Amino acid sequence: MKCTKNYRLGYTDKAKEIVSSLTLEEKISLMSGTTSLEQELKYIQEDPDNKHYNYIPYPAGGIKRVGLPPMLFCDGPRGVVCGAAKTTCFPVPMLRGASFDNELEEKIGHAIGKEIRAFGGNLFGGVCINLPYNPGWGRSQETYGEESFHLGQMGSALVRGVQKEDVIACVKHYAFNQMENSRFKVSVECDKRTEREVYLAHFKDCIEAGAASVMSSYNLYKGTHCGHNDYLLNEVLKKEWDFDGFVMSDFYWGVKDTVEAANGGQNIEMAHTLYFGDKLLQAVKNGLVSEEKIDDSALRIVRTLLAFTNAQEKDVDTSVLACKEHISLALESARKGITLLQNQEQVLPLNKKMKKLLVLGSLAESKSTGDHGSSWVRPPYVISPIQGIKMVAPEVDIIYDSGDDTERAKQLAKEADAVVFVVGYDYNDEGEFVSEDEAEGYTGSMGGDRKFSLGLHQNEIDLIKAVGPVNSNSIAVLIGGNMIMITEWKDYVSSIIMAYYPGMEGGKALAEILFGDVNPSGKLPFVIPYKESELPQVEWNTTSQYYDYYHGYTKLEKEGVKPLLPYGFGMSYTSFNISEAVFKIENNEVLASCRIKNTGKVEGTEIVQMYVGFKNSAIDRPIKVLRGFSRVSLMPGEEKEVTIACPVEKLSYFNEENNQMELEHMEHEVYIGTSSSNEDLIMGTINI
């Protein structure tokens, strides 16, 4: 691939030559964005119907004299944020995580790369791989799930796809950015093993996959802003991981001090010049920042630009924007990620020959594709759940009701053959949040971390409890960016589907699953507990937060708490049988294989998962962790052999005594199966 690290390093000499020809002022000019918040607001106010945040790519640096183009930043991750009603809106990464399909993720990345090039952009800011410590994190939808290994796999796939189109992929937010309301002020603490094994490992994976850029986060780590953090940026990222690309700050408030940021390893202040520019020039002149630091930033920026610009062979092609091919990827993704959680009496799939279907809940009409923060993509259209249902089942009489009047809803439910509740969240409930006082006048988005609980709104719970039992064919469809509690009301409906925010084609994919045109195959990228209190607790409005080593499924399993639904769980309209598991080590890889058979009546896809366990460890380690997955599609009666491989080094832990990842030489348990629950896995052992 053209934009790999090795390819880029080939531009070092040329970049050095250019850098040595630049004045100090020019080198410093490369190190900041050139937009201004005031200009930006004015520009949007001139034409608020069409123009919006990141309507055009945001520039940074660029020096005409030496033919160096600017960085041109386009945000994501559910597509490309630029333009009005122009770009493909994919499902949010949480749904894409549930598809466990890294090949598809790479294709989505490639499509995003092409759409960015259509705007003349060269930098994608939408590889978000933060790990939610608690599912209430408002921006959870922008990431792939709760599991570090899985985040690394999916994030790397997106990086590869984007960079295949010669667009620089920026991985964010480095690091520990999984609280929204306090993101500008919270200082995160954790121990070294938690830092390396749980919160940084997936960033390292994406760097190894070739990511050429990293965005530092707003929050602090151990008292230091991540945008100034010598330890995170210089020591870990650039020195230990040998990162060749550049770091940029999160926008407007990610740099707080000129000298600290420059010495701490920050390369670009985005998106306008506040602490760099003249202030940085003065700091160099005063001897507070060395010129070598500036040269290092300039080299990283110039080398990356040369490598990516040089690779861009094709002309800008705007016909790729929301083109058929990209929209069909958005549909494929939604079909593959939507997750069936419960299906009593096999109420699903619904029969298209039924007479009357009642659809309840205002979200059925909603075209919500996720939050209204920096990731807000504007596609040419969005198919709502109700539109999708009407498209897919045109013969069925579809009755829609908001559900605000419970008695009316009950009456309608009695008269219908089945009832679908569409419930959950929208951009008011969760998402990126910028409060006005913190944002110095910028009126930001709604959202923030979830407010009261991880469950549905009380009126939705009341509606389900009152109306669900009236009709024995009742289905709840959940919309939201992360885990939604179901314990309280799950027995009042027959079936439950997690639809996440399924993108511009989401309503269609959902309807196809409801009516069985598509067999669901998504798997939960998070655990669903019986009680919220079984998850790590977070104070959303705080200046300090400690992250324990355990969260999500590893926490429940370690504490012997049975989850309501395990990580990796998802149902199908067919059944699968797994047998003949074999575990071995070959060429420094753990290999788990098994035979898998479709034992049901319809074609289907299973996501086979491999976990590794550490029962014999001399130290405190998880019971087991995910270390591989593979999607396998089978016709009824068909059988296949599947092998999942993982490099042995991925079984290591961080040894705090010698500051290194280290393998334990012992017998490890290896599991292969269909979820993280032992009941769904076959176990064997391997010796390392």
Interacting residue ranges for ligand BGC, rule: CB under 6 A:
54, 75, 125, 172, 250-251, 374
Between CA 688 and CA 678 the distance in angstroms is 22
- The least CB distance from residue 54 to ligand BGC, in Å, is 6
State the residue number with the nearest CB to ligand BGC.
374
In the complex, the smallest distance separating the C-beta of residue 172 from ligand BGC, rounded to whole angstroms, is 6
CA nearest neighbour of 296 among 268, 273, 269:
268
What's the sign of the alpha-carbon dihedral 88, 94, 100, 105?
A: positive
Q: Can you tell me which residue has the tokens 């530092």?
A: 216
Could you tell me whether strands 544-546 and 187-189 are parallel, antiparallel, or unpaired per DSSP bridges? parallel
Three-state secondary-structure class, residue 605: strand
Tokens standing for residue 43: 């520009």
Measured from the CB atom, the residue of 122 and 374 that comes closer to ligand BGC is 374
In the complex with ligand BGC, the residue whose CB is nearer, 125 or 361, is 125
Using the CB atoms, write b or e for 87-123: b if 16+ within 10 Å: bbbbbbbbbbbbbbbbebbbbbbbbbbbbbbbbebbb
Smallest distance from the beta carbon of 273 to ligand BGC, in angstroms? 16
Distance CA 127, CA 170 (A): 6
State in angstroms the smallest separation of the CB of 72 from ligand BGC.
13
Q: Which amino acid is at 176?
A: F
Of 600, 603, 621, which is closest to residue 612 (Cα–Cα)? Answer: 621
State which residue, 7 or 442, has the beta carbon closest to ligand BGC.
442
Shortest reach from residue 374's CB to ligand BGC, in Å? 3
Q: What is the DSSP string of 140-164?
A: GGGS--S-HHHHHHHHHHHHHHHHH
> What is the DSSP track for 591-633?
EEEEEEEE-SSS-EEEEEEEEEE-TT-SS---SEEEEEEEEEE
Coil/strand/helix, residue 504: coil
- 388 to each of 71, 366, 522, 554, how far by Cα in Å? 39, 12, 19, 37
E-assigned strands of 209-305? 213-216, 220-221, 224-225, 246-248
Q: How far is the CB of 38 from ligand BGC (least distance, A)?
A: 17
Reading the block at residue 104, the tokens are: 């598809």
Q: Are 600 and 573 in contact (CB under 8 A)?
A: yes
Dihedral sign from CA coordinates of 386, 387, 392, 394: positive
Minimum separation from the CB atom of position 373 to ligand BGC (A): 7
